[in-house]
Chain A
């Protein structure tokens, strides 16, 4: 089945620790995205990548880092510099860019600081 796989589903982080969230897609999509969702708020864009080995900051990139070494993979690292990392993180992909480009989402990773 084609789709986007995020792992783990739940992640716990200690203060001062870096953690990495995995996102893999087998849809052969060029573009991939990371969003953060907080209760009562819309999704906010952290980083996005249009092609391999290239990525751009979104609206809330501070305290996060990404890489895009393979078309299928777009991992997100939440660093210790992110002061409020507890949130639901969603990865998405799309075929490319155009009027009918549709975004598809993974099932999310819930990160909690303990």
Chain B
């Protein structure tokens, strides 16, 4: 059974600092990995999707890397802003496209 772990569970940084969020998974037989953002009481917003054959994806200030063999992904957010405060979730998809989620990292960016 796929296990997904996100460390740290919470992170607080001053505005302008770069954010590094970690995700690890136990079974490397994945189809893809997605990073999501969740605001309190809201649904999930997709940020980035990395196919299993890719090493990284970039969108604006966001960059996500994937090392499938070691079961790790990292989400980098450059020059953090207070609006980046949210919970960030990673999820890996298996061959049936069932997603296994980590518990998330809650980020607070202090103005």
User: Could you say which residues of chain A place their CB within 8 Å of the CB of B103?
Assistant: 40-42
Q: How many residues of A contact B (CB 8 A)?
A: 31
User: Could you say which residues of chain A place their CB within 8 Å of the CB of B104?
Assistant: 42
Residues facing A in B21-69 (CB within 8 A) are 31-32, 34, 36, 41-46, 49, 51-53
Residues facing B in A66-114 (CB within 8 A) are 88, 90, 92, 94, 97-108, 110
Task: Please report the C-alpha to C-alpha distance between residue A99 and residue B45 in the assembled complex, in whole angstroms.
Answer: 19
Contact of A45 among B42, B89, B99 (CB under 8 A): B99
Interface string of B89-104 (1 = CB under 8 A from A): 1010100111111111
Is the C-beta of B107 less than 8 angstroms from some C-beta in chain A? Answer: no
User: Could you say which residues of chain B place their CB within 8 Å of the CB of A21?
Assistant: none
List chain B positions with a Cβ less than 8 A from chain A: 4, 31-32, 34, 36, 41-46, 49, 51-53, 89, 91, 93, 96-104
Task: Please report the C-alpha to C-alpha distance between residue A88 and residue B52 in the assembled complex, in whole angstroms.
Answer: 30
List chain A positions with a Cβ less than 8 A from chain B: 4, 6, 31, 33, 35, 40-45, 48, 50, 58, 88, 90, 92, 94, 97-108, 110
- Secondary structure type dominating chain B contacts: strand
* Minimum Cβ distance to chain B for residue A73 (Å): 17
Q: Is A102's CB under 8 angstroms from B34's CB?
A: yes
* Minimum Cβ distance to chain A for residue B53 (Å): 7
Task: Please report the C-alpha to C-alpha distance between residue A41 and residue B38 in the assembled complex, in whole angstroms.
Answer: 13
